[in-house]
Amino acid sequence: MASNLVICRLYWDCSTFREPIYVLLQNVTSYDTLHFVVSEQIIHQRTTKGRNIRNQKCRFFSVSYFRYGTIVPFKLSDIGEGIRDVTIKEWYVKPGDRVSQFDNICEVQSDKASVTITSRYDGLIKALHYKVDDIALIGNSLLDIELDDDNENAQDRTTISKNLQQQQQQTTNIKSKPNFESNEEKHIVKCGLERTLATPAVRRIAMEKNINLKDIVSTGKNGRVLKEDILTHLEKISVNPMRKRVEEKSTVETVVPIKGYSKHMWKTMTQSLSIPHFVYSDECNINRLMDYRNEVKDSLKDQGVSLSFMPFFIKAASRALEKVPQLNSWLDEENQALRVQKSHNIGIAMDTSEGLIVPNIKDVQNLNIIEIAKELNRLQKLGKESSIPLNDLSNTTFTLSNIGVVGGTYTKPVILSPQIVIGAFGKIQKLPRFDDKQNIIATNIISISWAADHRVVDGVTMAKYSNFWKYYIENPVFLLLGKILIEYLSTT
């Protein structure tokens, strides 16, 4: 019998009475100890009640006990990235469930990523403090859990229990403080009677009509409010109710809180206001690219891979970065330097039900078109579920946005600090263009807009990069060939 808190229900059975006794015992470690402690408790209770139980014929009492473990709050730990609050997306437990260490407790959504919270204890779930879609702050208690005896952190539990008792005692002391402010004093403060000059009769009218004297235009000497002033104010109030109702109807609104991914967008876009943007735009012929894609997309679809134009755009961006590596950088504003990144972690702006999010495909320079398409399919699936993990959102070095899937031809994308470049594609249009023989032909055209940080990128550098990207898109065979073969062809 291992317990530290026991509630006993005793039936004292004597010749003259039988009644239950409830005793709260602590630090009980065995039945012998329980027997001794309970006996002392009964003798003390009967003596204090004026009954001499030693002179009565008493039979042995029966004991039933209930063990209670230590109940501790399960607090939401800091999940990093400067996150201060999260939204509860899903609970994996309910009150009454038993959990072990590392069991899933719930899934939360921050303004950057989805995180699964796991249990730090073995025990019984007692209460949940939040509902789905509620916002929880870092450090607040998500739930209450009753710990098992075999938890190794017994000393920590004792400390937590003491802290809880201190908090409860402080709460009790606060609640027990008397409220010395009378209703009349509250009304005086509310009506502004303690500072405004007025006669007792005027003050009485103000109290009866629940009017704040500070709202009345005074005409008396030294700002004194006269009886005529308060009557004039009452007439104005009686004339304006209908006008106020009309104004109230016209100002009906719905407050939509900014949370989830939209909250992160608020922060990043505010940060981007300090970046001096310049935009370079061009158009690109994708006739050949469409032919290559159409040849393989059906066979890839049978293998569960959806091949859009985006994997080609991403790979072309990576190949162009190999030619202009300084654009794959983070800006160190404090030291006024560029930190050129070796990995091409290319982010893709993605629209989700929770707002705009930018996950990235890592090490694109080492991936082929099919591998990029698979990664993009995975991220799109997670985006629809609003459950993109933090690892897929971190360390982005270069960003692309495909606004063309929604509509529009040109746009001015906004740079995500500390990156220095972002590209955006418009919709595909079939337009008349001249071929090599000066014949007008129907051409599939896509527009591209590059936004760069003008503090570290000039227009010539951006134009060179755009021309490299355009070359790979208009000659997609170089995207499909290996890097070694491309270097060989470029030197011959």
Angle formed by the axes of helices 369-384 and 310-323, nearest 10°: 120
Q: Does the residue 256 lie in any domain?
A: no
Q: What average pLDDT does this structure show over 177-182?
A: 43
Known catalytic residue at 454:
yes
Q: Does the residue 10 lie in any domain?
A: no
Say if residue 456 is in the same domain as residue 407: yes
Q: Does the residue 16 lie in any domain?
A: no
Say if residue 215 is in the same domain as residue 285: no
Say if residue 483 is in the same domain as residue 336: yes
Of residues 492 and 438, more confidently modeled: 438
Q: State pLDDT tens for residues 42-65.
A: 444 444 444 444 444 444 444 444
Give the pLDDT score at 482. 61
- Domain's final residue, options 147, 166, 187: 147
Say if residue 380 is in the same domain as residue 335: yes
Give the pLDDT score at 228. 79
Domain holding 321: CATH number? 3.30.559.10
Q: Does the residue 408 lie in any domain?
A: yes
Most confident of 27-31, 66-70, 107-111, 267-271: 267-271
Say if residue 135 is in the same domain as residue 209: no
Known catalytic residue at 44:
no
Give the pLDDT score at 37. 44
Q: Does the residue 33 lie in any domain?
A: no
Say if residue 290 is in the same domain as residue 222: no
Q: Does the residue 453 lie in any domain?
A: yes
Domain holding 97: CATH number? 2.40.50.100
Residue 259 pLDDT greater than 80, yes or no: no
Give the pLDDT score at 335. 92
Give the pLDDT score at 86. 84
Say if residue 133 is in the same domain as residue 220: no
- Domain's final residue, options 103, 122, 147: 147
Q: Which of 78, 215, 332, 458 is catalytic?
A: 458
Say if residue 214 is in the same domain as residue 290: no
Q: Which of 85, 148, 277, 454 is catalytic?
A: 454
Can you give the pTM of this predicted structure?
Answer: 0.57
Q: Show the domain range for 420.
A: 264-490
Say if residue 218 is in the same domain as residue 274: no
Separation of alpha carbons 117 and 128, rounded Å: 14
Say if residue 210 is in the same domain as residue 272: no
Q: Does the residue 207 lie in any domain?
A: yes
Q: State pLDDT tens for residues 463-489.
A: 999 999 999 999 998 887 765 455 555
Residue 338 pLDDT greater than 80, yes or no: yes
Q: What average pLDDT does this structure show over 204-215?
A: 81
Domain count, the chain: 3
Lowest mean pLDDT among 237-241, 264-268, 362-366, 467-471: 237-241
Give the pLDDT score at 374. 96
Domain holding 225: CATH number? 4.10.320.10
Q: Does the residue 18 lie in any domain?
A: no
Say if residue 362 is in the same domain as residue 443: yes
Residue 322 banded pLDDT, cuts 50, 70, 90: very high
